[in-house]
Homo-oligomer: A and B are copies of this chain.
Amino acid sequence: MSEVWKKYQEENKERFLNEMMDLLRIPSISAKSENKADMKQCAEAVKAALLASGCDKAAVMETGGHPAVYGEKIIDPSKPTVLVYGHYDVQPVEPLELWNTPPFEPTIRDGKVFARGSADDKGQFYMHVKALETMVHTNTMATNIKFIIEGEEEVGSPNLGAFVAAHKELLKADVILISDSSLLSMENPSLDTGVRGLSYIEVEVTAAARDLHSGTYGGAVANPIVILSKMIASCHDADNHITIPGFYEDVLEISADERELINKAPFNEQEYKDEIGIKELYGEKGFSTYERTGIRPTLELNGIWGGYTGEGAKTVLPAKATAKISARLVPNQSSEKITKLLLEHFRKIAPPCVDITAFEHHGGEPYGTPIDSKGYQAASKALETTFGKTPIPVKGGGSIPICSVLENELGIKIIFMGFGLDNDGLHSPNEKYNIENYYKGIETIPYFHKYFGE
């Protein structure tokens, strides 16, 4: 079977790449209202691709927010069904000036496709579309396949839960397969066994009714940037433990065995530092880098602004300062609970000289998948077949908020089979996806269906 697949993919590889790049040209930024029409256009393009690649039916479906795209190829209702989840929406592209080529003009350099969404997640979910095409054209399908490609992952999937609840029969499947994560490396293939959860809040500190002259009022009126900085600074102690009371309350003790397994994954400190251009590792005392990103919750500042940020100097005492703050959560923590905790904490620690407006952005629950399940074993075998090595089970640091919702509504487990690399620059300028990884994914996915269908 592998020869048939290989031949078909080899003959069509250029087209497979060009089709993916066409999808990258659509600026489907879900966070920005100005891109609403682009979102619609992208959803239609995904639907067309599903139909052209072998789905019997496909539809752009309303969700209350940006639409989701559904597609299916049912070969035999008695066979297992795999539900492929992906998302066609992408992150904002700022700061634009740091992109070497425009984010929505996909450019190939050095074997990589540079564009927003190349790895997260258009390039990755499109591997499944081309894997479907491979199996349909070679008449080798071993499972039924359903697709749910949503348009709100990057804003926390606020409508997908209700959508899934309303379409349980349509989405009925035996396992959910997601490619929206990374391999340790091409030499060290891996499978994520979970994702961290997310809480995300925005805090605005207002000290005065308007911007003031820093000479006339400086020294006599609270400076909101200083106040906000003090609030932020107070959230980590000298060991980088988070000091917010109750933050770690629900975090489970990790066994020595599990920590050992995590730390078995190959880690080259110098390569890690060089790849992202950092001078030193930095993080919570008492934990390794993989533990810090895999099994420990974190608190990050994602954005801050206030006062004059233009060219030159302005002697202003700003009226307000604002920060975007998020926490990554680990199993047994609740996004809802931590979000509430964060909102209350920032309201509480603000001094009486300022007003606080704090509200939440999207969150998502942490998620874990057992490695002894049929789905994980099928994925592990598929990677072993194409990489020649058993993949290492690892804890992913990122969040896919919809995971727990999908499992709860559909009652089935999720398998994370990502083909990205940590250096893909997700959410960053110059996001890229290696062409080699794209093809490797298309090559590997049919084996998952083969082993899962057995």
- Give the interface of A toward B (CB within 8 A): 31-33, 91-92, 94-95, 98, 154-156, 182, 195-196, 198, 200, 202, 207-223, 225-226, 228-230, 232-236, 276-284, 289, 292-293, 296, 298, 300-318, 321-324, 326, 328, 352-355, 361-362, 396-399, 422, 425-430
Contacts and interface: CB of A to CB of B under 8 A. Distances in A.
Stoichiometry (number of copies) = 2
A314 B302 CA distance: 7
Contacts of A318: 301-303
A279 B281 CA distance: 42
Given A208-B277, A353-B278, A426-B213, A310 B31 contact: yes
Given A32-B312, A316-B428, A352-B279, A216 B422 contact: yes
Contact of A94 (B310, B323, B324): B310
Contact of A310 (B32, B210, B276, B311): B32
A149 B331 CA distance: 67
A301 B361 CA distance: 27
Given A210-B276, A315-B399, A304 B301 contact: no
B278 A428 contact: no
Contacts of A234: 233
A302 B313 contact: yes
B200 A315 contact: yes
Contact of A316 (B202, B219, B303, B361): B303
Given A293-B217, A306-B304, A397-B218, A313 B156 contact: yes
A218 B328 contact: yes
A436 to B, nearest CB: 20
Nearest to A206: B277
